[in-house]
Amino acid sequence: MFFEGTEKKLQLICSSKIPSLRAMGGSFWQKIVTAAGAEILSSIHNDDCDAYLLSESSLFVWDNRFVLITCGATNLVNSALEFIKYHDAQHIEFLSYQRKNEYCSILQPTHFQQDVEVLKKLLDGTALQIGELDGHHHYLFTSNTSFMLDNSKQTYELLMYNISGELVDFLIGSTPSVEKIRELLKVFTFFDGFKFDDYLFEPVGYSINGIKEDKYFTIHITPQGQSSYASFETNLNLAQTSLSFTEILLEIFNPISWDVIVFNKQNHEQAENQKDSWQLAECNFHTNHGVKVCYEHFHKPETQIFIPRILS
């Protein structure tokens, strides 16, 4: 029942000299996604964005930019290679490749250092490790391009490990339904006006994409046993919403540990959760594209009592 829910993420921004990436169409993006070892299950569209729900996570495409997120044993770097076949590397203004802390790295087809070697053949870049190897840690590769990103645009990622609660119980129960899951996730309350696309996986698992104008959010839930995991990601501007995603999602998913990664957190935004949790680690830095990266790693403020797990 092991499934690696933790994701790899590829973001690419292209020069406006090339045609709209959205105009490449579904069959092009199927090739990109297939290269990583995933497939497109469904999609939703609006005037700004195409959102593809994948067998392993999600793809969001705007005119000159895409974000491809994959989990499981996918080889996401191959998607970058495939993309370059159609769009020369000189048209890439920015590339970032992020690899999150996996439950079981030995089951992955590659490790981050190998991925970086492949990426560096495409374009020069900087590879970073954030956090210590014996605990949660993340890897980030960014291209050494001179392009500056708009630092008012935020991305928020919440990665929750060892989740439990009503929603998790419902998902691993016998008859989960997307309607009930949407209700438990409160997506209609929190994402008013969004278009949704969601999917229940066999034997277990749930993904939802939502888009409104150029904004997206996505939630992926892997509820099973020793690798239970849920992730939330959005490019909604946190300063312009009264919601505390962290607070809401921690209540729903009750993780034992979690990571918050915010790109371009604004200075007036307060650190969340600190009073009710053990914050094990923090890392703040700027990339050479003007992006401010804030990484925080938390643990529930109590001792987890384990019973040993018998392995087959």
| Site residues, a copy of itself (CB under 8 A) | 101, 103-106, 108, 111-113, 116, 126-136, 139-140, 161-162, 226-227, 256-257, 278-283, 285, 293, 295, 299, 301, 303-311
Q: Which residues contact 102 (CB under 8 A, 6 or more apart)?
A: 4, 6, 108
Measured from the CB atom, the residue of 23 and 133 that comes closer to a copy of itself is: 133
Min dist. Cβ of residue 186 to a copy of itself (A) = 26
Min dist. Cβ of residue 89 to a copy of itself (A) = 21
The answer to whether 212 touches 195, Cβ cutoff 8 Å, is yes
Min dist. Cβ of residue 129 to a copy of itself (A) = 4
What would the DSSP string read from start to end of 67-104? Answer: EEEE-TT--THHHHHHHHHHS-GGGEEEEEEEE---S-
Instruction: Quickly tell me which residue has 């439990």 as its tokens.
Output: 164
Min dist. Cβ of residue 299 to a copy of itself (A) = 6
Say if strands 155-161 and 257-263 run parallel, antiparallel, or are unpaired.
antiparallel
Measured from the CB atom, the residue of 213 and 276 that comes closer to a copy of itself is: 276
Min dist. Cβ of residue 204 to a copy of itself (A) = 18
Closest alpha carbon to 213 in 199, 238, 186, 195:
195
Min dist. Cβ of residue 134 to a copy of itself (A) = 4
Measured from the CB atom, the residue of 101 and 209 that comes closer to a copy of itself is: 101
Measured from the CB atom, the residue of 42 and 113 that comes closer to a copy of itself is: 113
Q: What is the largest CA-CA distance in the chain?
A: 58
Measured from the CB atom, the residue of 236 and 293 that comes closer to a copy of itself is: 293
Say if strands 257-263 and 292-299 run parallel, antiparallel, or are unpaired.
antiparallel
Closest alpha carbon to 2 in 98, 100, 108, 76:
108
Measured from the CB atom, the residue of 45 and 292 that comes closer to a copy of itself is: 292
3-state DSSP assignment of residue 17: coil
